[in-house]
Amino acid sequence: MTKIILFILDLLKPVFRSMNIDYPQLRAIIEIKLIMDNRRQTVRFTKKQAEKNNVFLWTLIVYTIFGGFIAIGIAASNFMLGMTIFFSFLMAMVSVTLITDFSSILLDTSDNTILLPRPIDNRTFYAARTVHILLYLSQLATCLSAASCIAIIWKYKFWLVIPFIVGIFLTVLIAVFLTNTIYLLILRFANEEKIKNVINYFQIFMAIFVMGGYQIGARMLTHYDYTNTIVEIKWWSYFIPPIWISGMMDTFYATNFDIQHITITILAVIFPLASLYITNTFLTPFYNRKIVMMETTIISNTGIEKKTSTSFISSIGKLITNGTREEGTFSFVYKMLLRDNKIKLKIYPGFGLIFVFGFLFLFNNKESISSTLSNLSTTHYYILLIYLPFMVVQTALYEIPFTEDFKASWIYYSTPIEKPGELLTGMAKAIFLQLFIPIYLVISIAILFFWKSMVFDDIFFGLINNYLIFLILLTINTRYLPLSMAPNARSQSGNLLRGLMLLVCTGLPALGHYLLANKVWIMLVVLPFQLIAIYFLQRSYRNTLWADVKF
């Protein structure tokens, strides 16, 4: 694979040359990066980790299946609508992957000591990283688009595949250049000490924006009549990149060369080139220097940088935990959830999505907003709202074992820990208290506002039920100690089965609640059983032995 990629790169040599990039250096960096990426998963610990070799392959397979669904969309709708759906989807997927997974390549400081002392100029260094990112995204985009290519050949004309493929790569380029431009602007103008945080907030915001926007867009489309809805180029189309590409496709399909189509096609082609030119001339000259600054943080002599008063939290921690090991892990995890940028990036967008989803559930029909609101109190929508915050908790549980600092977890093995379960419950309590309780309070207030106090029992019952689901999830999940695993060491085996079990085990209690909504007396009957289940699950989780912990 590496050889094929390098061969393609060699073909593009003149392009790089024309941008004043040192091609042999670029090629050398890319080659070594690809070799390392291939090896990284295999040689980690002495343990049997061969299964991890295929993480990326799995992602590709899943994306290909995803792509299949979208191809059905293309086949089912008219040309322009299908193209708009496809390219919006593609751009959303590419951007999210880029922001959450691959921007670390652009902002990597780990090889500073290896590469920066060598005579590599800003442009080449930046280009090498951008190409590295592009290589991955192109593979993902290819998988996402494979089925749609077939759909196009089958439904339309064969030669349309050519502009379609061009469109796919333009989409990837636009996503990459837009994001990179913003990163470079942040690097250029943000206060050096704050760069990492600014970037983190930007990533969180973008993740909410892209995912939320995509959700809203997708829901809006369900109200459309697929075959008859006409997507026309309006003035606002010029601001939405995916429509540039679909407009370009329409130009070829309908052989429509009016002024709007021409303009939008030109935009689609010119934009990536222009942003490439702008970044290359104005922004990359600062790149190396800023990357160095991201790493060398200078300690201020006063030493008072960020004093955090967590005394309130630690007193709560004392109350709800049992034993110093559980208490210690509780406050450790609590702090890490507030500070680890990677974890924040994965978890915090969930808060934004809760509101997007909540909004969508409420207004997912054709009635006017005012009539929806006035009829609200007669519906059971609030049950959905009660279970929405769980989304964040689920992500947190999925992410909390993984950190760049995983090597620091040697302390778990050098200290006398008899029952790692105590650490696990400390972790679980921190997650539930920090990520669930506050948002549940906010949602409860909103529910009480719309539905009045008659649903108070449901809110209480929902809280207990959510905690029960949380414990079920903990019981089923692979048990890792908090912040103890390398980020790419995630176990892939048995994911499908586990996923199904999760769906059933966490879905059933929520469904049960939906059926019981407003039936206070049944809830009172069920409640003791819930509490007993909670007691036993929590106890067994706390008794987790070393043999059950994966590391």
Partner 1 sequence: MTTGTEVIITNNLSKTYTTKVLNDINLSIKSGEIIGYIGPNGAGKSTTIKILSGIIPEFDGDASVLGFDVRKDSLEIKRRIGYIPENASLYETLSPLEYLNFIGQLYGMDSAQVTKKAKELLHVFELSNFDETRMTTFSKGMRQKVLLIAGMIHNPSILFLDEPLSGLDANAVILVKEILSQLKKSDKTIFYSSHIMDVVEKISDRIIIINKGKMIANGTYEELNSQAQSGSLERIFTELTGNKEHESAAGEFINILESK
Least distance to partner 1, CB of residue 406, Å: 8
Minimum distance from residue 191 beta carbon to partner 1 (Å):
15
Nearest to 399 by CA among 337, 455, 464, 453: 337
Q: Which two tokens stand for residue 373?
A: 């609101």
The residue ranges that bind partner 1 (CB under 8 A) are 46, 297-299, 301-308, 314, 318, 323-325, 327-329, 331-332, 335-336, 339-340, 405, 407-408, 410-418, 423, 483
Least Å distance, CB 100 to partner 1, is: 19
Task: Name residue 538's amino acid.
Answer: Q
Inter-residue contact 321 to 426 (CB < 8 Å): yes
**In the complex, least distance from residue 306 CB atom to partner 1, rounded to whole angstroms:** 6
Q: Burial of 246 by CB count in 10 Å (0-12 exposed, 13-18 middle, 19+ buried)?
A: buried
CB of 547 to partner 1, least distance (A): 12
- Minimum CB distance to partner 1 smaller for 230 or for 547: 547
Query: Please, what's the b/e burial string for 256-291 (b: 16 or more CB within 10 A of its CB; e: otherwise)?
Result: eeeebbeebbebbeebbeebbeebbeebbebbbebb
By beta-carbon proximity to partner 1, the closer residue of 49 and 314 is: 314
Query: Measured between alpha carbons, how far is residue 333 from residues 340, 427, 430 in Å?
Result: 10, 6, 6
Report the distance separating Cα 48 and Cα 71, nearest Å: 38
Direct distance between the N- and C-terminal alpha carbons of the chain, in angstroms, rounded to an integer: 31
**Hey, which residues does 48 pair with through a beta bridge?**
none
**Distance separating alpha carbons of residues 73 and 68, to the nearest angstrom:** 9
Give the nearest distance from C-beta 418 to partner 1 in angstroms.
6
Nearest distance, CB of residue 298 and partner 1, angstroms? 7
Report the distance separating Cα 451 and Cα 449, nearest Å: 6
The SS3 call for residue 45 is coil
Which residue has tokens 């990283």? 129
What one-character DSSP code corresponds to residue 298? P
Q: Which is nearer to partner 1, 367 or 548 (CB)?
A: 548
Q: In terms of CB distance, is 411 or 497 closer to partner 1?
A: 411
Report the residue number, 73 or 482, with the smaller CB distance to partner 1.
482
- Round to whole Å and give the CA distance between 479 and 550: 6
Nearest distance from C-beta of residue 327 to partner 1, angstroms: 6
- Distance CA(266)–CA(245), nearest Å, equals 10
**Which residues share a beta bridge with 479?**
549
Q: Which is nearer to partner 1, 281 or 324 (CB)?
A: 324
Which ranges of 190-286 does DSSP label H, i.e. alpha helix? 195-222, 241-253, 259-278
Task: Report the residue number, 10 or 193, with the smaller CB distance to partner 1.
Answer: 193
Which residue is associated with the tokens 């295929």? Answer: 54
Residue among 241 and 426 whose Cβ is closer to partner 1: 426
Helix, strand or coil, per DSSP, at residue 467: helix
> Which residue, 230 or 298, is less far from partner 1 as judged by CB?
298
Give the residue with the Cβ less far from partner 1, 250 or 340. 340
Give the shortest CB-201-to-partner 1 separation in angstroms. Answer: 16
Q: Work out how close the CB of 305 gets to partner 1 at its nearest, in angstroms, rounded to a whole number.
A: 5
